[in-house]
Amino acid sequence: MMEVQITCKSCGSSIEVVPDHLATKVACEVCKDVQEVKFSHEHEEGILKDCPVCSRMDFYKQKDFNRKIGVALFVIAAILSIWTYGISLVVLYLVDLFLFRKLAMVAICYKCNTNFRKVKNMEEIRPFDHEMHDRIVYSDQDFKGKPLSH
């Protein structure tokens, strides 16, 4: 079953939700803010066509790894490279390669940053596109799930 992680609009904390077509609202456990959601039967089956939070159809996929941890590991390896003569960077590269092969993919909504795990149609979702992200976030352009065309 698909797992959904919604970002609270008020405090920015994550709200873990299991799709249920009967659910219309979710509440943040931290700030108690309530957000409307619209799950469908497709969401319950693990098929991602539209976002239950913002109703957009524009998603990207990436490896399911916390970016802050990745940056912290790189900084630690870079600092240690002074005493290890760069070996710590090689070790970090090998760890990164291992994680890249083992970690699952996650789909993310460009508009509201909702995360979707265990999506059955992940192969239909394209990787991150910087131009598409900027057009959606800064000018509210809606691509309706279609790829950016020039």
pLDDT single digits (tens) 60-106 = 999 999 889 999 999 999 999 999 999 999 999 999 999 999 999 99
Taking 80 as the threshold, does the pLDDT of residue 150 lie above it?
no
Predicted confidence at residue 87, as pLDDT, reads: 96
In 8-119, the DSSP E strands lie at 14-17, 25-27, 34-36, 59-63, 105-109, 115-117
Distance of alpha carbon 20 from alpha carbon 56, whole angstroms: 18
Predicted confidence at residue 67, as pLDDT, reads: 86
Rounded to two decimals, the pTM is 0.86
pLDDT tens digits, one per residue of 15-51? 999 999 999 999 999 999 999 999 999 999 999 999 9
Q: Whose structure tokens read 């904390």?
A: 13
Query: Six-digit token pair at 53?
Result: 């939070």
Predicted confidence at residue 1, as pLDDT, reads: 87
Q: Which of 63, 69, 48, 60 is nearest to 3 (CA)?
A: 48
Work out the percent of the chain whose per-residue pLDDT is above 70: 99
Q: Is the dihedral of CA 135, 109, 107, 65 positive or negative?
A: positive
